[in-house]
Structure 1
Amino acid sequence: MSGRILIVDNVATNRIVLRAAMQAAQYTVDACTTPAQARASIAINRPDLILVNLSGVAAEETGFCTALKADPDTGGIAIIATGVPDTARARLAALDAGADEVLARPTHDALLLARIRSLLRARAATDELFLRDSTSRALGFHDSQSPFAAAGRVTLIAAPPSPWHDLTAVLNRGLDQPVQTRDACAALRDCDAADCPDLFIIPVASRESDTGALFSLVSDLRSRPETRLSCLLVVVPANAPDMAALFLDLGADDVVLHDALPAEMILRARTLVQRKQLHDRLRRNLRDGMQAAVTDPLTGLFNRRYVDHHLTRMSAQCTAAGRALAVMMIDIDHFKAINDRYGHAAGDRVLVAIAQRLRDNLRAVDLVARIGGEEFLIAMPRTTAEQAQGAANRLRRLINQTPFDLGEADGPTRVTISVGVALSGAAGPDQQDMVRMCDLADAALYRAKSGGRDRVAMETSIV
């Protein structure tokens, strides 16, 4: 089963017809007569979507919709109002009451099912992002500040000269910002992921217009990496339910009729912009949380958690290419003495500066990580023993030849490092091989420190 649907309708015939259609589409269906029964049903079996009859626009039914949306526990349940009179004012009243969509009776089956699929897709995407966000928060990776709601970027796609001046004027006034108008080619050609509109609005002139090109446009916008996360609102003729259903199944987030009141156009557009910005914020929280999980907060280098997984992948690539992987363990000499003499703030400045020098003097393909208090790891793929030793000595000189600024009170201070190097052989990318290789590099580091520090020691055995 692909979802649970609750039907709320006081007309038995309507409940029977809707239940049969929903079960044929493989949904789990519950049905009841009144909002009071619906609340009891929701408490037992929470639905993914509710079909509620608002034909009488009774205060009880509209209040039921409004209360569901206002309650944080049920606000995410999608609501489709059925039986609403087929007028612009009646549709707007139902949307204002809390419905996500409004369908007049007799209900067009293809459009109803397309609406359900579209709303459930949107709900599933939001729920997944909220789940990931809650996990990040539980791990401590979140921004405690309230998100700033920026104005949404909206583009209307129409071929010049655009006949949609009235629609553009309505959107400009209602959204309190200029709406950009572009033709389809420009919208596809000039968009980049960093500055892509939150919402594309695509008007269809009539049933007789070239809908094939517009169907392709919706599919294109939904599939391209730059635009796939943007919301799509299609304006369709009032007498074209099949067209509306197809646009929804091709990836449009919403469809609105030509005869919709300006307030409905604005409401739908604003809702989509808000959804897009919410999803963006949740994705950003997830990305930042994942970055924080594998990054050392002081130096910005990767941490041991990242190293444990990435080394195995690097080794697999080197093995496939028949080349060696070099691993260096680097330790700051007498780092405790720096902290004791100059303070921990000065020690932190040394760590940050060393991390910067290491990062700036290695290849993009090399891995640089901080794996302990004053210990760093470098992994260099496709590297010979001579190249690894040369790189280690070069990095050692970069550290010891240029003093570190610890602040005006202390002046420049010389810091040295010791380096242990180990190389992989033809062994496969087994995790145990990587553990042993790091152990060998650690042993070489110990020999470098025991031999007087400020030097490089090579592990000659092959992993």
Structure 2
Amino acid sequence: MASDILIMDCVATNRIVLKVKLLAAQYRVRPCATLGEALEEIEVSKPDLVILDTCSETEAVLDAFRTLKATPETALIPVIATGGFTTPRDRVLALEAGADDVLTRPFDDHILQARLRSLLRARDARLELQLRDGTRSALGFAEAAGSYVAPARLVVASTHASVADGTEALRPRLANTRVTHLSCDQLASDLRAAAQADVVVLDLRQGPFDDTAFYRLLSDLRSQSGTRHAAILALLPPDAQQAAAMALDLGANNVVTAQVHRDEIAHRCAVLLKSKREADALRRTVKTGLEAAIIDPLTGVYNRRYALPHLSRLSQESEASGRQFAVMVLDLDHFKAVNDQYGHAAGDEVLQQVAGRLKDNLRAVDLLARIGGEEFLVAIPHSDAAHARRTAERLCALIGEAPFFVGPDRQELRITMSVGVSLNSVDDASQVFGSVDEVMSAADGALYAAKSGGRNMVSLGAA
């Protein structure tokens, strides 16, 4: 669906030209002649992006920026300020008021289109973060924010020593931020110098500008694991308009080609640092969500949702290699009596300790999952019957021979475990038989035999 862009400019010619350019790029456009008209339009229907001219009603427009960013319903809408900006300080005032970017007239069409794409991508990422945070809160996964914020890391790579001296002024303007300076050649030859950086500033305003080398450096920063998530600010010469547009599409978060005040650089870095932290939070949210989907929250081992697809992959690998795998179903004996006599909190402690013992005595390649209340599953690749039985007997003894201690008074409990073991079958030609369902069913049958045979024992079945 085409993005909806609202533009406000008191000059009719500017509105018409900008509208034609945006319509040609397949955007939906709402032109407004006055700030009041624009604010009414925003109130009626929230646009995806706003472009406001600052040449007329300058103070009122800056106030509008502040209001839009302070209002929850419009805070995430990207705002571009356009105008003459006769001094570098004018640009800073617009940015500090809340504009996400500033474009000095006359602005290059390629730059405009690239900035629109970049800002809309960033808006979508922030909307996703907000949505996921809301979902996490609704599910009860949200946690209070910690009071400690680790220092941010800013890496400034420049083409000229005097430029680095100028960016040294960023240090006092960015609180809780470590600033590292190096040359562009140093960064290009060893990207590890910027590993784990939150923001990388590429300052290419002085010296001969090599666009090919610049594109290569941008691509390398985005392709390496240590730098791909860093925010990138490129400071380019005024005549590098085409390179600036290309840089935004190659992954730079922000590009400046105009003469800028050091306060503008510091402000842009601060905004990028904030956005980087939000993006990091989004990735952590995704990771936490995935873990919540496949990890048993009580014991910290995998759950049934993860275990069954894992068994399917083991079965496919077994068919390809001609080697068997073993499945064990482990069930704690008389566990209901533990909950009834000592309480569910004590039962939970026992389950956690059982999971810990099992995990500490299995290989990294083996699978351990909790698939029921007191039932666990172990899958062992490349195993024969003798190896599977020895492992099951060792785990069974591991639970039954050492006591468990639960509760604040560390009360001693004795728990035993029954184990059913099954392997997929293989013939003399190394042909593997037995589906995952058949192997699981055989392991369940073997567990029933172990329970019927007196518990605290191992029984071996066959798929």
Q: Compute the TM-score of the two structures, normalised by the length of structure 1.
A: 0.89
Q: Matches of 1:411 and 1:15 in 2, distance apart?
A: 78
Residue type at the aligned position of 1:358: L
Deviation, structure 1 residue 33: 1.6
Q: After the TM superposition, which of the residue ranges 6-15 and 30-39 deviates more from structure 2? A: 30-39
Please list, as runs of the form range in 1=range in 2, the aligned pairs for 1:210-229 lying within 5 A after superposition: 210-229=210-229
Q: Which amino acid aligns with 1:402?
A: A
Q: 1:437 aligns with which of 436, 439, 442?
A: 439
SS in 2 for 1:200: strand
Unaligned runs of 5+ in 2: 427-433
Q: Equivalents in 2 of 1:409, 1:274: separation in Å? A: 47
Q: Residues 348 and 187 (structure 1 numbering): CA distance in 2 closer, same or farther, change over 3 Å?
A: farther
Match of 2:272 in 1: 272
Identify if the C-alpha distance between structure 1 residues 13 and 376 changes in structure 2 by more than 3 Å, giving closer, same or farther.
Answer: same
Tell me, in whole angstroms, the C-alpha distance in 1 between the residues paired with 2:370 and 2:422.
18
Taking a change above 3 Å as real, the CA distance of residues 282 and 420 of structure 1, as seen in their structure-2 partners, is same
- Partner of 2:302: helix, strand, or coil? coil
Following TM superposition, by how much is the alpha carbon of 1:459 offset from its aligned partner in structure 2, in angstroms?
1.7
Matches within 5 A, 1:51-450: 51-145=51-145, 148-158=148-158, 162-176=161-175, 177-184=177-184, 187=187, 189=190, 191=192, 196-206=196-206, 208-257=208-257, 259-406=259-406, 412-425=412-425, 433-450=435-452
Aligned-partner Cα distance in 1 for 2:183–2:359: 45
The amino acid across from 2:192 in the alignment is C
Farther off after superposition, 106-115 or 384-393: 384-393
Alignment length (residue pairs): 455
Q: CA deviation at 1:420?
A: 0.8
Deviations 1:246-266, CA, capped at 9 Å, x for gaps: 322221111234731222111
CA contact (8 A) 2:184 2:202 kept: no
The structure-2 alpha-carbon separation of the partners of 1:211 and 1:61, relative to structure 1 and needing over 3 Å to count, comes to: same
263-272 vs 142-151, greater mean Cα deviation: 142-151
* Distance of 1:258 and 1:173 partners within structure 2: 23
The residue type paired with residue 442 of structure 2 is L
The 8 Å contact of residues 342 and 410 in structure 1, kept in 2 or not, is answered as no
Partner secondary structure for residue 164 of structure 1: helix
What is the SS of the residue equivalent to 1:191? Answer: helix
Structure 1 residues 318, 153: CA separation in 2 closer, same or farther (over 3 Å shift)? Answer: same
Deviates more, 1:448-457 or 1:168-177: 168-177
Residues 354 and 178 (structure 1 numbering): CA distance in 2 closer, same or farther, change over 3 Å?
closer
Q: Is the 8 A contact 1:143 1:285 kept in 2?
A: no
Residues 185 and 169 of structure 1: CA distance in aligned 2, closer, same or farther (over 3 Å): closer
Letter in 2 for 1:41: E
1:126/1:408 CA distance change after superposition, 3 Å = closer
TM-score, normalization by structure 2? 0.89
Q: Which amino acid aligns with 2:169?
A: V
CA contact 2:167–2:262 (8 Å) conserved in 1: no
Q: CA deviation at 1:340?
A: 4.2
Residue deviations 1:128-148 (CA, integer Å, cap 9, x gap): 333333333333322134675
Q: C-alpha distance in 1, partners of 2:445/2:210?
A: 72
Distance 1:109 1:86, change over 3 A: farther
- For residues 4-26 of structure 1, what are the alpha-carbon distances to aligned partners after superposition, in whole Å with 9 as ceiling and x for unaligned? 21111122111110111111122
Q: Does the Cα contact within 8 Å between 2:156 and 2:164 map onto a contact in 1?
A: no
Contact (CA 8 Å) 1:192, 1:226: kept in 2 or not?
no
Identity of counterpart residues, as a percentage?
A: 44
**Counterpart secondary structure, 1:390:** helix
Q: Cα distance, 1:342 vs. partner?
A: 4.4
Query: Which deviations, in whole Å up to 9, do the C-alpha atoms of 1:316-335 show, x marking residues without a partner?
Result: 33333333332211111122
**What secondary structure is seen at the aligned counterpart in 1 of 2:200?**
strand
Q: Which residue of 2 aligns with 1:429?
A: none
Checking the alignment, whether the CA contact within 8 Å between 1:256 and 1:265 is kept in structure 2 is no
Q: CA deviation at 1:301?
A: 0.9
Cα distance between partner residues in 1 of 2:98 and 2:326: 61
Deviation at 1:376, TM superposition (A): 0.8
2:23 maps to 1:23: yes
CA RMSD after TM alignment:
2.7
Spell out, residue by residue over 1:21-75, the C-alpha distance to the aligned partner (whole angstroms, 9 max, x if none).
1111222222122233223333454322111111225333222222111111111
SS of 1:163's partner is: helix
Q: Deviations over 1:84-111 (max 9, x none)?
A: 3242022112212221111111121111
Equivalent pair of 2:303/2:369 in contact (CA under 8 Å): yes
Give the Cα–Cα distance (whole angstroms) in 2 for the partners of residues 164 and 347 of structure 1: 65
1:453 Cα deviation after fit: 0.6
Contact kept in structure 2, 1:133 and 1:286, CA below 8 Å:
no
Q: What is the CA distance between 1:225 and its match in structure 2?
A: 2.1
Once the 2 structures are TM-superposed, how far is the Cα of residue 300 of structure 1 from its aligned partner?
Answer: 0.9
Whether contact under 8 Å (2:399, 2:416) holds in the other structure is yes
Greater CA deviation, 297-306 or 256-265? 256-265
CA 1:363–1:185 in structure 2 vs 1: closer, same or farther (change >3 Å)? farther
Note if contact 1:325-1:383 (Cα within 8 Å) is conserved in structure 2: yes
Which segment is superposed worse, 184-193 or 133-142?
184-193
SS of residue paired to 1:156: strand
| Contact 1:389-1:458 at 8 Å conserved across structures | yes
